[in-house]
Each structure stands twice: as C-alpha cells, then as structure tokens.
Amino acid sequence: MVNIDCACDNEFARELASYLKNHGLEAKSEESIVVVSDADPEKLLRSFLEYTKRQEYSIRKIDPENFLVSKEVPIEDFGFFRCEMCGYVVSSEEELLIHRRAHGIQLL
C-alpha cells in the first residue's frame, strides 16, 4: 500500500482516488490522503495531473510508501532567494551571495 498525501486538499484526493480506480487500482481517499494498492503510482500520478491540467502541482516521493502531491508555490513571491546550484533558500540577496561562495565560485 502506498499513501499519497494531497496536502490537505480533500477534493483533490477524492478526484485522484476515483481516477486511480478507473485505471483498475484499488484506491480510497481518507480526507486528503489517498491509499492505493499500486506499489509505484508515480506514472499514474503524472498522467492524472496532466489529465486534470494541474501543471502547477508537483509530485514528491518521500519514501517508497509515501508520496506528496502539492501545488508548487514560487518562493520568490515571498521575498526569498533560491540558490540556483543546490536549491538552498535564503531570505536576502546578501545571504545568497555569501552562500554561493560556499560552492567555490566567485561571482563578480
């Protein structure tokens, strides 16, 4: 059994569970969690997001039994900066410059 956490979105979980059922899997939604019999639902998750035009969602595999599907929110909108080399997040441009130096690269 694999748990798919839909990030508190109960409606999303219901839709996903019925989509998986339509594809011959055993699936049920419990609030915002979908429990599915498939050992590797990642492919179907992707086609579900495509089918329902939810391109802004991303799938994260936490471990082989737990997936998280959530809306990607660009952190830049909240005044944060992300290191383009490793994804590290800082709250100011100065910190980002200092952090980048840790990669051994001097940016002029």
Interface with Zn ion (CB under 5 A): 83, 85-86, 88
Smallest separation, CB 103 to Zn ion (Å): 5
| Closest C-alpha among 13, 6, 64 to residue 40 | 64
Which residue, 75 or 85, has its beta carbon nearer to Zn ion? 85
Placement of tokens 């599907």 in the chain: 69
Smallest separation, CB 86 to Zn ion (Å): 3
Which residue, 16 or 96, has its beta carbon nearer to Zn ion? 96
Residue nearest to Zn ion as judged by C-beta position: 83
Smallest separation, CB 96 to Zn ion (Å): 9
- Describe the chain by its helix, strand, coil percentages, rounded to 5: 35, 25, 40
Which residue, 28 or 99, has its beta carbon nearer to Zn ion? 99
Using CA atoms, how far residue 106 sits from 97, 101, 102, in Å, is: 9, 6, 9
